[in-house]
């Protein structure tokens, strides 16, 4: 198996809400403050209490991700994970989101880091093949699935393409139930 994958499913995929796959929805929502200054789907970087499932830091630690790994954080939004990665020493990180508004907000907020912030669509990634050791996905593929299986298939193909062959790691947290 050329890739390792770590999946954490948190429940059933509710209704197919195609708005979550649209750039205009996200731009408008981040512009008008729908998701406040920071919003984390499912859980954040570190647990604030016993019910937080350990946070993304624990998932990365358990998966053996080291601080020098080339990481692509897809669908980053304004999650605290972006800042948490920096604070805990992960230095080679690219944060990607379809919303230009949130990428501008996050790159301004974290302009003191060496992290890269990119506006992009995970169904058509601009990176070279095999660029990343790790891809973090906390609900991004769920949002793409809301546009249909064809879009999701393209996203999965792109994720596999930019992930380093043989030892690349895809960490996905999803609301969808595993089948």
Tens of pLDDT, residue by residue, the chain (179 residues): 344 544 444 443 333 356 767 677 777 777 787 766 776 767 777 766 545 457 888 889 999 999 999 999 999 988 889 999 999 999 999 999 989 999 999 999 999 999 999 999 999 999 999 999 999 998 888 888 877 789 889 999 999 999 999 899 999 887 766 55
Place of tokens 């920071």: 38
Question: Residue 146 and residue 152: Cα distance in Å, rounded?
Answer: 8
User: Which of 15, 3, 37 has the alpha carbon at shortest distance from 175?
Assistant: 15
C-beta neighbour count of 114 within 10 angstroms: 9
pTM attached to this predicted model: 0.81
- Bridge partners (DSSP) of residue 134 are 71, 169
Question: Residue 32 and residue 135: Cα distance in Å, rounded?
Answer: 29
């Amino acid at each position: 198996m050329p890739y390792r994958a770590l999946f954490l499913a948190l429940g059933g995929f509710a209704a197919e809400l195609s708005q979550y796959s649209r750039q205009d929805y996200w731009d408008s929502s981040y512009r008008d403050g729908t998701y406040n200054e920071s919003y984390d789907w499912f859980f954040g970087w570190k647990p604030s209490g016993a019910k937080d499932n350990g946070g993304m830091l624990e998932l990365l630690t358990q998966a053996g991700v080291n601080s020098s790994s080339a990481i692509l954080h897809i669908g980053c939004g304004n999650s605290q994970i972006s800042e948490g990665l920096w604070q805990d020493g992960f230095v080679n990180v690219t944060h990607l989101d379809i919303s230009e508004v949130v990428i501008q907000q996050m790159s301004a907020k974290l302009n003191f880091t060496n992290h890269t912030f990119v506006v992009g669509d995970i169904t058509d990634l601009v990176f070279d093949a095999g660029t990343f050791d790790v891809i973090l996905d906390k609900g991004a593929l769920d949002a793409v699935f809301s546009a249909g299986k064809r879009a999701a298939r393209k996203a999965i193909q792109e994720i596999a393409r930019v992930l380093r062959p043989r030892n690349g790691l895809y960490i996905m947290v999803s609301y969808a139930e595993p089948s």
